[in-house]
Amino acid sequence: MSMGETRELSKEKNSFLNYNVSCIMTLPPYQRQGFGRLLIDFSYLLTKNEGKIGSPEKPLSDLGLISYRSYWKDLLLNYLASYTEKNVYIKDMSTEMAVNAYDIVSTFQAMGMMKYWKGKHILLKRQDLLEEFLERQKRRRADYKEIDPKCLNWRPYVPPPPSEESQSNSNKNKTVAANKAAADRKKAQAASAVQ
């Protein structure tokens, strides 16, 4: 997807590893204006629309890690600021936000909010971080870029079902491979019997 000459997002149609984005690029003159965050947010919006949980393709560049960590930090603090229950479950957060649980845990660890104690991961409520986040939200610039999910007109890629012909070819290939393996075993047994 290209958004003019300033930024670009690349997404796999059907990622085996559930990567929700392959590449994000913002040209230098347009960096530090919120476009990278906008593209990250857009990739997660698409992931939610697909009903999946996603993560960016790894390894992330240094700048990519900084950008994603900042995005995840704000996403998690926003979630916690409105959370009223006593216990927080990473799996529930992951499902609701479409963010991989590993990315959530690593971000909490980087923020100093997660500790391992008596065989369990404990999430520490850091009121200072929550208050700082809420204060930043109030001071947000008027030109802050956001995507309105209601305006998304997109359908996820659905791979076509395998045709009968491709299934029969697949079965034929399996049969040929099994016959070859059996012939190779016979040859190996005959060779060992000769020695």
Residues forming a β-bridge with 56: 21
Q: Can 57 be counted among the known catalytic residues?
A: yes
Side chain identity, residue 187: K
Catalytic residue among 57, 96, 164, 165: 57
Please say whether the beta carbons of 27 and 62 come within 8 A.
no
H-only helix segments in 7-153? 35-50, 62-81, 90-97, 101-110, 127-138
Q: Extract long-range pairs of 99-105: CB within 8 Å, 24+ residues apart.
A: 99/44, 99/53, 99/54, 99/55, 99/72, 99/75, 100/18, 100/53, 100/54, 100/55, 101/53, 102/55, 103/55, 103/68, 103/72, 104/72, 104/76
Catalytic amino acids? 57
